[in-house]
Amino acid sequence: MLFKDQVVLVTGSSRGIGRSIAVRFAKEGAHVIVNYRNSEREAQVITEIISTYGGNPMCIKADVSKEKDVKMMVDTIIEKYGHIDVLVNNAGIAIDREFANKHIKDFQETFDTNLIGVFLTSKYVSQYMLERQSGKIINISSTNGIDSTYPYSVDYDASKAGLINMTKNLAIEFAPYINVNAVAPGWVDTGMNEDLSKSYLDDEKNKILLKRFAEPEEIADVVLFLASNKARYIDGETIRVDGGLKLE
Ligand code: NDP
């Protein structure tokens, strides 16, 4: 088992991609901390499921955009396990709206979770990783932060571009002890896209060489690779996982 007895915090793991990442780490022997903001029932169900894989998981409600919540979450994890091996900054939100109807509040909420949340978790978790001179941080960005940009997600796209930049700064700050990398998925089949129309989603699928959205597990596979010893010489990098989006 690749991550036997490693302590892995996956933010936003009650649903979607984060949930798949939590399951994959648990199957590889890790003690996984499931984090959520609202979806208590889903988070508890997934924690019960992963406890059957033999690890000792835990479920913590914490809003990553709130400093006191993040401090509480990290203190609780350290009290129970003594250290953290892997931090996956997966929690993210998108408030899709026509550009003319975008408000400052949309930008603020999006940046609070997608950027400030990553800053806070990385700041508090890295203290313990640096003490042990070992750790991995993986940030979930998006191809929207690179080149698949849309005016109705102008705030989200800027936050994901910012996250690619933050990944590089965190890699510099924590070198040579913590590898910090990002994954930039294209379209992934999760609840985040459930409000978009079928015809729009079909058009988007046609832009992808593989003609389908990713399954969350296909993003989780790359996250586990980056957290593993096989990726020990990768640092400050962003890996696209988009099925060939925009290559045609
Ligand atoms: P979902 O909407 O399915 O799930 C989001 C998760 O993040 C939930 O567990 C949610 O918790 C949690 N969350 C949201 N805000 C906070 C917060 N402030 N504090 C703690 N937890 C929070 O999203 P996806 O699984 O689709 O996306 C996961 C990541 O992947 C995001 O960063 C997203 O931007 C990125 N991504 C997604 C793509 C896609 O097509 N789906 C494409 C590219 C990137 P709760 O259930 O409690 O609300």
Structural tokens at position 124: 């508090």
Secondary structure of residue 78 in the 3-state scheme:
helix
Percent helix, strand, coil in the chain (nearest 5)? 50, 15, 35
Question: Of the residues 53, 156, 200, 233, which is catalytic?
Answer: 156
Residue 1, domain member (yes or no): no
Residue 177, domain member (yes or no): yes
Q: What is the CATH number of the domain that holds 199?
A: 3.40.50.720
Residue 14, domain member (yes or no): yes
CA 99 to ligand 1 centroid distance, Å = 22
User: For 198-243, what is each residue's pLDDT tens digit?
Assistant: 999 999 999 999 999 999 999 999 999 999 999 999 999 999 999 9
**Strands 58-61 vs 86-89: parallel, antiparallel or unpaired:** unpaired
The Cα 95–Cα 238 span in angstroms is 24
**Shortest-distance atom of ligand 1 to CA 144:** 43
Q: Is 139 in the pocket of ligand 1 (CB under 6 A)?
A: no
Read off the pLDDT band of 248 (50, 70, 90). Answer: low
Q: Is 192 in the pocket of ligand 1 (CB under 6 A)?
A: yes
Contacts of 208 (CB under 8 A, 6+ apart): 186, 187, 242, 243, 244, 245
Is-catalytic flag, 156? yes
CA 48 to ligand 1 centroid distance, Å = 20
Number of structural domains (the chain) is: 1
Per-residue b/e over 123-142, b at no fewer than 16 CB within 10 Å?
Answer: ebbbebbeeeeebbbbbbbb
Secondary structure of residue 38 in the 3-state scheme:
coil
Neighbours of 149 (CB within 10 A): 16
- What domain range is 140 assigned to? 7-247
Q: Is 16 in the pocket of ligand 1 (CB under 6 A)?
A: yes
Cis, peptide link before residue 151, omega less than 30° from 0: no
Residue 60, domain member (yes or no): yes
User: For 140-197, what is each residue's pLDDT tens digit?
Assistant: 999 999 999 899 999 999 999 999 999 999 999 999 999 999 999 999 999 888 888 9
Using an 8 Å Cβ cutoff, are 65 and 37 in contact? no
Residue 21, domain member (yes or no): yes
CA 15 to ligand 1 centroid distance, Å = 7
* Predicted local distance difference test score (pLDDT) of residue 173: 98
Q: Is 91 in the pocket of ligand 1 (CB under 6 A)?
A: yes
CA 106 to ligand 1 centroid distance, Å = 16
For the range 101-106, what are the long-range contacts, defined as Cβ-Cβ under 8 Å and sequence gap of 24 or more?
102/154, 102/155, 106/155
The Cα 37–Cα 11 span in angstroms is 9
